[in-house]
Chains A and B, each alone.
Chain A
Amino acid sequence: MKTGKIKINGNILVLIIAWLIVVGVFSGLNRNYFTTTNMVNILTAAALVGLVAVAHTYLIIELQNDLCPGSLCAFAGVLSALLVTNFGMNFWLAMIVTLVVCSLVGMFNAFMVNRIHLEAFIATLVTQAIIRGFAYIICDGKPVAITDATFIAIGKDRFLGLPISVWIMLIAFVVFGFILAKTKFGRSVYAIGGNPQAARLAGLNPQRIVTISFIMMGIMCGIGGVIFAGRMNSGQPAANINLEFDAITAVILGGVSFSGGVGNMLGTVIGVLLIQSFNTGLTMVNVSSFWQYVARGALLLFALTADYIRKTRNDQKLLELSKKNG
Chain B
Amino acid sequence: MVDTLEFRNITKYFPGVKALDQVSFKAFGGEVLAFLGENGAGKSTLLKTLNGDYQPDEGQYLINGEEAHFKNPHEAIEAGISIIYQERQILPELSIAENIYLGRMPSNKFGVIDSKKANERAAKIIDDFGLPLKPSEKVKNLSIAYQQMVEIMKAYSRDNLKVICFDEPTASLSDAEIESLFKIIRKLKEEKKIVIYVSHRMSEINEITDKVAIFKDGKYVTTKVTKETDGDELIRLMVGRDLGSVYSELDRNKEIGDVLLEVKNLSSDYVEDVSFTLHKGEVLGFSGLVGAGRTETMRAIIGADRMLSGEVYLDGERIKCKSPGEAQKKGIVLVPEDRKTQGILANLSVRDNINISLLDMHANKFGVISKKDEDEAAVKGIKDFNIKTPNPEKKIVELSGGNQQKCIVARWMATMPKVLILDEPTKGIDIGAKAEFYSMICEFAKQGLGIILISSELPEVMGLSDRIIVMRSRKISGEVMREDATEDKLLGLGMMEEN
Query: Is B345 touching A185 in the complex (CB atoms < 8 A)?
Result: no
Query: Is B369 touching A321 in the complex (CB atoms < 8 A)?
Result: no
Closest chain A CB from B145 CB (angstroms): 33
In the complex where A200-B323, A203-B328, A322-B18 touch, is A194 in contact with B366 (Cβ < 8 A)? no
Query: Is B359 touching A184 in the complex (CB atoms < 8 A)?
Result: yes
Query: Is A191 touching B345 in the complex (CB atoms < 8 A)?
Result: yes
Cα A184 to Cα B17 with chains together (Å): 32
Residue of B nearest to A197 (CB): B342
Taking the complex as formed, is B363 at the interface, i.e. its CB lies under 8 A from any CB of chain A?
yes
In the complex where A3-B347, A193-B347, A323-B57 touch, is A201 in contact with B369 (Cβ < 8 A)? no
- A157-197 toward B: CB 8 Å interface, digit per residue (1/0)? 00000000000000000000001001111011011011101
In the complex, chain A residues 49-93 whose Cβ is within 8 Å of any chain B Cβ: none
In the complex where A182-B368, A184-B369 touch, is A205 in contact with B325 (Cβ < 8 A)? yes
Q: How many A-B residue pairs have CB under 8 A?
A: 117
Query: Is B347 touching A194 in the complex (CB atoms < 8 A)?
Result: yes
Chain B interface main SS type = mixed
Closest chain A CB from B336 CB (angstroms): 5
Residues of A in contact, count (CB < 8 Å): 35
Chain A residues with CB under 8 Å of B360's CB are 184
Query: Is B304 touching A200 in the complex (CB atoms < 8 A)?
Result: yes
In the complex, chain B residues 392-410 whose Cβ is within 8 Å of any chain A Cβ: 393, 397-398, 400
Closest chain A CB from B127 CB (angstroms): 48
- B55-74 toward A: CB 8 Å interface, digit per residue (1/0)? 00100000000000000000
Give the size category of B's interface with A: 35 or more
Interface centre among A2, A3, A187, A326 (most CB of B within 10 A): A187
In the complex where A183-B363, A191-B356, A321-B398 touch, is A198 in contact with B336 (Cβ < 8 A)? yes
Closest chain A CB from B390 CB (angstroms): 11
The answer, among A198, A203, A323, for a CB contact under 8 Å with B345, is A198
Residue of A nearest to B15 (CB): A318
The answer, among A182, A184, A195, A319, for a CB contact under 8 Å with B346, is A195
Query: Is B346 touching A194 in the complex (CB atoms < 8 A)?
Result: yes
Cα A190 to Cα B322 with chains together (Å): 23
Residue of A nearest to B343 (CB): A198
Closest chain B CB from A318 CB (angstroms): 4
The answer, among A194, A203, A315, A323, for a CB contact under 8 Å with B348, is A194
Taking the complex as formed, is A262 at the interface, i.e. its CB lies under 8 A from any CB of chain B?
yes
Cα A240 to Cα B16 with chains together (Å): 47
The answer, among A190, A197, A260, for a CB contact under 8 Å with B341, is A197
Query: Is B356 touching A185 in the complex (CB atoms < 8 A)?
Result: no
Cα A326 to Cα B336 with chains together (Å): 26
Taking the complex as formed, is A204 at the interface, i.e. its CB lies under 8 A from any CB of chain B?
yes
Closest chain A CB from B254 CB (angstroms): 33
Cα A134 to Cα B203 with chains together (Å): 71
Taking the complex as formed, is B261 at the interface, i.e. its CB lies under 8 A from any CB of chain A?
no
Taking the complex as formed, is A199 at the interface, i.e. its CB lies under 8 A from any CB of chain B?
yes
The answer, among B328, B352, B398, for a CB contact under 8 Å with A4, is B352
Cα A66 to Cα B227 with chains together (Å): 65
Closest chain A CB from B109 CB (angstroms): 45
Taking the complex as formed, is A8 at the interface, i.e. its CB lies under 8 A from any CB of chain B?
no
Query: Is A318 touching B397 in the complex (CB atoms < 8 A)?
Result: yes
Taking the complex as formed, is A261 at the interface, i.e. its CB lies under 8 A from any CB of chain B?
yes
In the complex where A4-B352, A187-B369, A319-B13 touch, is A201 in contact with B334 (Cβ < 8 A)? yes
Chain A interface residues toward B at CB < 8 A: 2-4, 179, 182-185, 187-188, 190-191, 193-195, 197-205, 260-262, 315, 318-319, 321-323, 325-326
A–B pairs, 25, beta carbons within 8 Å: A3-B349, A184-B368, A184-B369, A187-B352, A187-B369, A190-B347, A190-B348, A191-B356, A194-B345, A195-B341, A197-B342, A198-B342, A198-B345, A199-B345, A200-B304, A202-B357, A203-B323, A203-B356, A204-B359, A261-B347, A261-B348, A262-B347, A318-B16, A319-B13, A321-B398
10 smallest CB-CB distances across A and B, nearest first, come from A261-B347, A194-B347, A203-B325, A318-B15, A194-B345, A183-B367, A203-B328, A184-B363, A184-B359, A184-B367
